Amino acid sequence: MKSKANIFRILFFLLIVAGCTKLKETAGGNLTPGQVSTDTAADVLLRATYASLEYTFTSYQEMLPLTTFTTDEAIAPTRGGDWDDNASWRVFHEQKWDADNSHIRNCFNSLGGVVYAATDLLKYNATVQQKAEARFLRAWAMYLILDMFDQVPYRDPGESLIEPARVRQGLDALAYIIDEINAVEPDLPDGPADVANKFAAKTLLMKCYLNKAVYANRASPTHDPADMDKVIALADQIINSGNFDFSIQYFNNFSPTNAADGKENIFTQQSNADGNYVLQFAWQAVTHYYQGGFNGFTTLSDFYNKFEATDKRRGIAYDYSNSPPNPGRRVNVGFLADQQYNLEDDSPLDFGDGPLIYTPEVTNILPGPNLAMPGIRPLKYPPDNANFDFRGTPCTNEYVYFRFPDVLLMKAEAIWRGGAATSAGPYGNTALLIVNAVRTAPSRSATALTTLSADDLLDERGRELWWEGWRRQDMIRFGKFLLPFQEKNYASDPKYLLFPIPSEQLAVNQLYLHQNPGY
Amino acid sequence: MRPKQLLSIAALSLILLSAGHSLLAQTRVVAGKVIDSKDGAALPGISIVPNGTSIGTQTDSTGNFRISVPSSVTNLRISAIGYQAQDVSIIGMTFIEVALTATYTSLNDVVVIGYGTAKKKDLTGAIGSVVERDFNKGIYSSPDQLIQGKVTGVQMTTANGDPGSAITIKIRGSSALSGTGQPLFVIDGVQLDGRAFQERDNPLNFINPNDIASIDILKDASATAIYGSRAAYGVFIINTKSGQAGAPKLDVSVSAGISSILKKVDVLNPAEYRDAISYYNANPGNDKGSNINPFDAILQDAWQQNYSLAYGGGNENNKYRFSVGYQNKDGIVKNTNFKRYNAGMTASTKLLSSRKLGLDFNLNGSQYVRDGSGVFINDDLTNGNDNVIRTALQWNPTDDLYNADGSIKIIPNGPQNPLSQLNNIRANLKVTTLLASITPSYKFTSWLEYKLLLSVNYSTGTLRSEVNQATFPGFPGLASIRNFELTTEQVTHTLNFNKKIFPKLNLNALAGYEYLKFTSKGYGLSGIGVGGVGFGDYGLDYTNYVQYSDAGSRGISSYLDPSSELQSFFARAIFNYDEKYLLTATFRADGSTKFGDENKYGYFPSFALAWNIAKETFFNVRWVDALKIRGGWGKTGNQEFPPGSAQALYAFRNNGNLGQINNPNPNLKWQSDQQFDLGVDFSLFDHRLSGTIDYFNKKTTNLLFPSPPIQPAPPGSTVRWINLDGEIINKGFEFAVSGGIIRNEKFNWDLTVNTTFLNNSVSGLPVPIYTGFVNGPVETIQNGLPMNAFYTRKFLGLDKASGFSVYQDDGTKMYYVGDPNPKMLLGISSTFRYKKLSLIANMNGSFGQDIYNATLMTSLGVGGIQGGSNIASSVYHDPVKENYANPVTPSSRYVQNGDYFKLNNLTLSYELGNVANTFKNMVIYLTGQNLFMITSYQGFDPEVNINNSINGIPSLGIDNVRYPSSKSIIVGINFSL
């Protein structure tokens, strides 16, 4: 009987051991919001917010097709078996995209991510400046969403993520963005450029006012001189700060050392914020396989021909830290045209079956026989060659959001559009003088214009700001976006002034989002 | 359960095990012979156990046995799997001859039904059961392959042909909008996690197929509901061999074989390639002047060998079995290999003088090693252009693979040389698994038993991969090491009641409590060589000295997944009235940490009824031996979504940044599957013809779905887990018929045919879902279409003038152009026996499904002729000349008929019986696997499913450069000592 008693004791013991659990989930190697608020400083959340902006600009996948391939500045040709990708690229230049386009969807999502990360930070303990930086980054992302999609979804800090997000639209969204920028500007630092700063805030405000008429009526904007005056006043504040000047070389603004040498840079993307810096795509996406790239995007001959041959912005033999020896002084930055050379020994490049020659004419679908070479290649960011040997390591070029010449050209345009002319700095007090100040700066060396038409202004913005993501906005503001241009020989439907709300987002937020007209 | 407590229980149990055994009394000797009642053939390996004793023996190859029995014994129990057991009186006898009747219908076979067993004739649910004698013969890296084509309603697809790769198992159609859709695996009562190190690894690789006694597949909800929230895709129960009563014996099994490619993809040979260059007006420089077959250069004759030893024995109260196994299997692509080392121990004992305390131990240790040419083995390296199959298909057949000096030719910035990839991109995965369980039980009375199962399944693996700097000029080399640990702990208490509660009414009832805990963690590190220095050419694996890498290039990461625990209460009652009427009711309540606070518990009931008509007195049809009608309904669930989906999580990322990563949904709950099943089991003409017919209708609702986040949402988050409105219905018929076509003393022919007709439809979804990424989605899950319907441009042909593709609506509209779901599955098994010679043929086929041939689209398109790579013969032989600049756009052009029929196994075996008085029950066999295949599909194998999921929504039926399938010839020998 004793053994029996033992058995029961064991059984009893086992039953106790197996007592019910509460089924409380722990976060494993992650943190719950409770742990974040008690154990974490907001600076790590802020770093993540900056990092969240990176990919959408520095990859060629999101902002670039929407802001640039849709215009006369660039094209993403389908090269036989290459670059078809479910036809998702060529629709941009053709202006035939739809609400299922993956690039449009991803761009909308990435910008939404920035809005979320910045908003989420606000629910934790943070310094005044940290919160101001986060709110500025949010305003920047919201501005881009407004510009491209018109409808700007938003959430309050701590809001449930399974509920649809509310939406601000058009001028309401713009008013909110302007209020936010004004509210945080006093708490932002003066610099450096890769931190949200006062001058970045002023530049973004200039964009808001310069394009305000567009957000009211994209098809035929009417600019209010009062808004232009605000643009001019903000420009003068930036000029008079004395913080910005032309760089010694135009491409210093984009070089691997542009954080130090880019005197024109007002706001840039912090490089290496999360170790997955992807700016190398800026050169990989355009150059041929034999130059280490993917042989993708090109400019068009009409755009290339807008430059004078002497205009250094078109391309130069450029020496910079980590640049190749380039003994033949070949154009190694800017637009790469004609025969390409090995920059180590100046031997002409041969892509296996003939010389590698970039030819100016290019079509949306290349008909052959020549598939690899058509198209002049835009190489704005000098490759950080030291960090371009197959490694995933960061290149040190900082992606440029706002630049001082843009401020000058916006001021010139505001005067041209009826704002009251002012004089600030050495740049003159008329639109023509200011434009010529940019053109004739030694780092540009273009000839001065004698008159200034709308086309001149738009073209100058194109020459100065190519591959910087402003062409779509500029062409819309000048009423040229829908008109025929090279490799789009028809006028487009006005619906293309806006991108569609991605159908995937429309499906999950039917309460507040609606499809943009025409889609 | 904390480890310390587990330990103390184990210690206690060991003490209990060492308790004394009883001694035997005075004995006498009985001899005899056992034969088959049909043909009088001697039956070897039949178990002879004197009733009421713990001793036993087996018949030898001539059917004879000899045993010492206590003088008190009056009966011998003569039994064997597949035969009706008999109790034979030995009163006053020294020699007996016993004729056993084969249970061809297997109605008396015992089937494991989850937390218990039942005789097949008493089943009320749809359960497919395959015992060892019916397993596919050959050398298999995982036990699931043993039953391919054997069970109705079960579709098994080998995604890739490399040994050790995963198999897609779909039980009764496709209903997974997320996750793997794989069944729950249960081994000897222990539930597996189901995950492997990476998706392309088979989670059952750690089990030696030679250790498996039977596999039972629970198909309908009345059978699976006892497993509740993990059973929606069926339950795959694996039962391992245990010791048999009788004298200790050593079973030896040795086999070896050779494999080669089953079917090649038709690309141009050098002569055709030259013709094609001029035909397409392509670059004449693409003719490099040589004549080679690059695909053959990556293939090898793949040798494989398998050794298995098992030592076991015991008596009625103490049984044990030890086993060791070694398998070494080369893949048909060079430098790919699978090895496994196994050691297992199982013992069961009945303790105390009353024998009421039982204790079962199970310990299985295993290590498998997969070697690969980077391309395979490693999920990360498979994507993109690093796939050696792709580059071998594409390599220009007029270009040499070697330089004049014999070194491998590297073309800078040009096409990758497949041989360079084979040698320079390498991966090695080593996974070590330990499965241990201990099961004490106590029989309070003959009708009440308590059982406790404690188990731990621990698995750890390391994947080391290297991209050698020789891959292309200037490349400094890459090394990467990843490690993972998966642990599953399980505690199960069950109380079993089995008693005639009324004269004709038997109640078999079960109540239980179960706790499961899943833990997953790991780390990874990688580095790229220093520019200009590289990893060097020292002949060492780079993963042995990662620290030599460029400091800035290093990547490191580690993780511990959020906890995942399940707590369950379950019960089952089986009423059996007079063997005529059977009622089964089950209920399970599952609580999961993964579910949101609102839905911690899910409840899963089921009911089933069966009526043995043939037992009725009014039913008096001579030729009907058994006839049973059964019907059941039940509800099961699926909780296959990542832990941590119900609450907000912040992740640590590189360089001190921390951010939210998910879109928490506190309302999340399990996915619900309701299934109705109606079946008939019959056995006719003296058991010459038997079969099963089932109709099933499975409705899946509350679909667990990785929905897009609602912006603004955490950066980089791609999913928001929800329970989506909508219904997926899988319905169909299953027929399995077995017949003894010829049965006489010398010659037997049995034929089994099983077919499944499937129908799948989706309805009620709020929005269409897209998946199947081939340069963009090519599949949809939407109302009115089958799951994963191919949905892309409709290809109308090539324009004769331009040579460009023409699409319906200019390619701006997508159409339903194909269905990857099979409409019919077919399995045929034929067994001829002539005396000691037998010939077994297993064939299986699948019909009605389409395949998206992405290999053709992405790798073998016409553009290659200008780009200097090879193209598909079908492209060249198209009557319309295609322009080589024709864009490669997804369309119905690449949707091909995937019907196939395979002779997947043909085995000729001969029973030598006892040899030289030392080797017993010797059998030699010759097996051919995949000896032929009938299909019109243009890829390597229509049995294909390469994961092209989008945001975790599974794809189906897409072929994108899979590892080719093989055919094999294997010889083997089994004997006992």
Inform me whether the pLDDT recorded for B82 exceeds 80: no
Q: Is A153 helix (H, G, I), strand (E, B) or coil?
A: strand
| Cα–Cα distance, A211 to B819 (Å, whole number) | 50
Structure confidence at residue B609 (pLDDT)? 93
Inform me whether the pLDDT recorded for B285 exceeds 90: no
**CA B122 to chain CA centroid, nearest Å:** 27
Inform me whether the pLDDT recorded for B3 exceeds 50: no
Which residue of chain A has the CA closest to B556?
A: A275
The answer to whether the CB of B546 falls within 8 A of the CB of B527 is: yes
| Cα–Cα distance, A75 to B454 (Å, whole number) | 64
Tell me phi and psi for residue B975, to 5 degrees: -155, 170
For B392-440, the pLDDT digits (tens) are 999 999 999 999 999 999 887 778 899 988 888 888 899 999 999 999 9
For A181-221, the pLDDT digits (tens) are 999 999 999 989 999 999 999 999 999 999 999 999 999 99
Tell me phi and psi for residue B661, to 5 degrees: -120, -10
- Among B700, B670, B706, smallest CA distance to B598 is for B670
A230-244, B458-472, B842-856: least confident range: B458-472
What is the arithmetic mean of pLDDT over B903-932? 88
The answer to whether the CB of B253 falls within 8 A of the CB of B307 is: yes
Structure confidence at residue B23 (pLDDT)? 39
Most confident of A122-136, A315-329, B4-18, B855-869: A122-136
Longest pairwise C-alpha distance within chain A: 115
Structure confidence at residue B473 (pLDDT)? 78
The answer to whether the CB of B215 falls within 8 A of the CB of B237 is: yes
Contact call for A390 and B442, based on CB within 8 A: no
Contact call for A23 and B286, based on CB within 8 A: no
DSSP state of A444: T
Chain A residues whose CB is inside 8 A of the B515 CB are: 18, 21
The answer to whether the CB of B751 falls within 8 A of the CB of B829 is: yes
Contact call for B656 and A44, based on CB within 8 A: yes
Longest pairwise C-alpha distance within chain B: 99
Structure confidence at residue B280 (pLDDT)? 92
A239-248, B239-248, B787-796, B899-908: least confident range: B239-248
Helical packing angle, A42-58 and A102-121, nearest 10°: 160
**CA B492 to chain CA centroid, nearest Å:** 25
Other beta carbons within 10 angstroms of residue B230's beta carbon come to: 26
Amino acid sitting at position B917: N
A334-343, B299-308, B665-674, B875-884: least confident range: B665-674
Closest Cβ opposite residue A393 in set B442, B552, B767: B552
What is the arithmetic mean of pLDDT over A266-288? 76
Contact call for B593 and A49, based on CB within 8 A: no
Structure confidence at residue B98 (pLDDT)? 83
Band the pLDDT of B186: cuts 50, 70, 90: very high
Which pair of tokens denotes residue B938? 């243009």
Structure confidence at residue B378 (pLDDT)? 52
For B763-814, the pLDDT digits (tens) are 988 888 889 988 888 999 999 999 999 999 999 999 999 899 999 998 888 9
What is the arithmetic mean of pLDDT over B716-730? 89
| Cα–Cα distance, B962 to B977 (Å, whole number) | 43
Band the pLDDT of B380: cuts 50, 70, 90: very low
Structure confidence at residue B374 (pLDDT)? 55
Amino acid sitting at position A179: D
Using the structure block, give the residue that is written with the tokens 């629709």: A91
SS3 per residue for B522-548: EEEEEEECCCCCCCCCCCCCHHHCHHH
Chain B residues whose CB is inside 8 A of the A44 CB are: 656-658
Tell me phi and psi for residue A177, to 5 degrees: -65, -45
**CA B690 to chain CA centroid, nearest Å:** 27
For A312-337, the pLDDT digits (tens) are 999 999 999 878 889 999 999 999 99
Tell me phi and psi for residue A175, to 5 degrees: -60, -40
Other beta carbons within 10 angstroms of residue A399's beta carbon come to: 23
Evaluated on CA atoms B174, B178, B179, B185, the torsion sign reads negative
A117-126, A333-342, B123-132: least confident range: B123-132
Secondary element (H or E) of residue A408: helix A404-416
Structure confidence at residue B81 (pLDDT)? 66
Chain A residues whose CB is inside 8 A of the B12 CB are: 10
Other beta carbons within 10 angstroms of residue B296's beta carbon come to: 11
Mutation pick from B229, B528, B657 vs chain A, by most beta carbons of A within 10 Å, is: B657
Q: Is B127 helix (H, G, I), strand (E, B) or coil?
A: strand
Burial call B14-29: b when 16+ CB within 10 Å, e when fewer = eebbeeeeeeeeebee
| Cα–Cα distance, A464 to A311 (Å, whole number) | 10
The answer to whether the CB of A149 falls within 8 A of the CB of A515 is: no
Residue A137 or A388, more confident? A137
Chain B residues whose CB is inside 8 A of the A391 CB are: 476, 528, 531, 550, 552-553
| Cα–Cα distance, B292 to B399 (Å, whole number) | 7
Beta bridge partners of B897: B850
Other beta carbons within 10 angstroms of residue A292's beta carbon come to: 17
Answer whether the bond into residue B714 is a cis peptide, omega within 30°.
no
The burial of B450, by beta-carbon neighbours within 10 Å (0-12 exposed, 13-18 middle, 19 or more buried), is given as middle
For A431-467, the pLDDT digits (tens) are 999 999 999 999 999 999 999 999 999 999 999 999 9
Q: ipTM for the complex?
A: 0.91
Structure confidence at residue A262 (pLDDT)? 92
Average per-residue pLDDT for chain A: 90
Inform me whether the pLDDT recorded for B21 exceeds 50: no
For B594-639, the pLDDT digits (tens) are 887 778 888 999 999 999 998 888 888 888 888 999 999 999 988 8
The burial of B12, by beta-carbon neighbours within 10 Å (0-12 exposed, 13-18 middle, 19 or more buried), is given as middle
Structure confidence at residue A277 (pLDDT)? 56
Secondary element (H or E) of residue B789: strand B789-792
Which pair of tokens denotes residue B17? 């095990």
Burial call A322-358: b when 16+ CB within 10 Å, e when fewer = bbeebeeebbbbbbbbeebbbbeeeeebebbeeebbb
Amino acid sitting at position A131: K
For A392-402, the pLDDT digits (tens) are 456 788 999 99
Rounded alpha-carbon distances, angstroms, from residue B215 to B149, B204, B269, B845, B851: 13, 13, 46, 21, 30
| Cα–Cα distance, A208 to A178 (Å, whole number) | 7
In B621-688, beta strands by DSSP E:
624-638, 650-653, 657-660, 671-684
| Cα–Cα distance, B103 to B83 (Å, whole number) | 5
Secondary element (H or E) of residue A147: helix A128-149
| Cα–Cα distance, B872 to B856 (Å, whole number) | 7
Strands B318-330 and B337-351: antiparallel
- CATH for the stretch A1-188+489-519: 1.25.40.390
Inform me whether the pLDDT recorded for A274 exceeds 80: no
What residues does each domain of chain A span? 1-188+489-519, 274-397
The burial of A477, by beta-carbon neighbours within 10 Å (0-12 exposed, 13-18 middle, 19 or more buried), is given as buried
Band the pLDDT of A14: cuts 50, 70, 90: low
Which pair of tokens denotes residue A472? 């779509």
What is the arithmetic mean of pLDDT over B696-720? 90
The answer to whether the CB of B925 falls within 8 A of the CB of B971 is: yes
Which pair of tokens denotes residue B168? 């897609």
B267-276, B370-379, B859-868: least confident range: B370-379
Which pair of tokens denotes residue B219? 């198909």
Band the pLDDT of B107: cuts 50, 70, 90: low
- Among B295, B293, B305, B303, smallest CA distance to B260 is for B303
The C-alpha of B775 sits at a distance from chain A's nearest C-alpha, in angstroms, of 5
Give the angle B802-B775-B158 at the CA atoms, nearest 5°.
Answer: 115
What is the arithmetic mean of pLDDT over A88-101? 91
Which pair of tokens denotes residue B682? 């019959």
Inform me whether the pLDDT recorded for A347 exceeds 80: yes
Structure confidence at residue A431 (pLDDT)? 96
| Cα–Cα distance, A121 to B614 (Å, whole number) | 73
Closest Cβ opposite residue B563 in set A28, A35, A386: A28
| Cα–Cα distance, A476 to B132 (Å, whole number) | 74
For A23-56, the pLDDT digits (tens) are 888 888 999 998 888 777 788 999 999 989 988 8
Structure confidence at residue A116 (pLDDT)? 96
| Cα–Cα distance, B672 to B606 (Å, whole number) | 13
Closest Cβ opposite residue A17 in set B1, B286, B352: B1
Contact call for A272 and B655, based on CB within 8 A: yes
Residue B759 or A9, more confident? B759
Secondary element (H or E) of residue B32: strand B27-36
Amino acid sitting at position B811: G
Closest Cβ opposite residue B515 in set A21, A112, A272: A21
Contact call for A367 and B552, based on CB within 8 A: no
Inform me whether the pLDDT recorded for B4 exceeds 50: no
Q: What is the pTM of this model?
A: 0.86
The answer to whether the CB of B804 falls within 8 A of the CB of B863 is: no
Contact call for A24 and B776, based on CB within 8 A: no
What is the arithmetic mean of pLDDT over B263-280? 94
Tell me the count of A-B CB pairs closer than 8 A.
280
The C-alpha of B812 sits at a distance from chain A's nearest C-alpha, in angstroms, of 10
For B544-587, the pLDDT digits (tens) are 999 998 887 788 899 999 989 999 999 999 999 988 999 999 99
Contact call for A165 and B707, based on CB within 8 A: no
- Nearest 10 degrees: CA dihedral of B744, B746, B747, B748? 60
Beta bridge partners of B629: B611, B680
Which string of DSSP letters, residue by residue, matches B803-860? --EEEGGGGTS-EEEE--S-SEEEEEEEEEEETTEEEEEEEEEEES-EEEEHHHHHHS
**CA A408 to chain CA centroid, nearest Å:** 20
Rounded alpha-carbon distances, angstroms, from residue A511 to A105, A169, A499, B637: 19, 14, 19, 31
Average per-residue pLDDT for chain B: 87
Residue A482 or A22, more confident? A482
Residue B17 or B753, more confident? B753
For A146-173, the pLDDT digits (tens) are 999 999 999 999 999 999 999 999 999 9
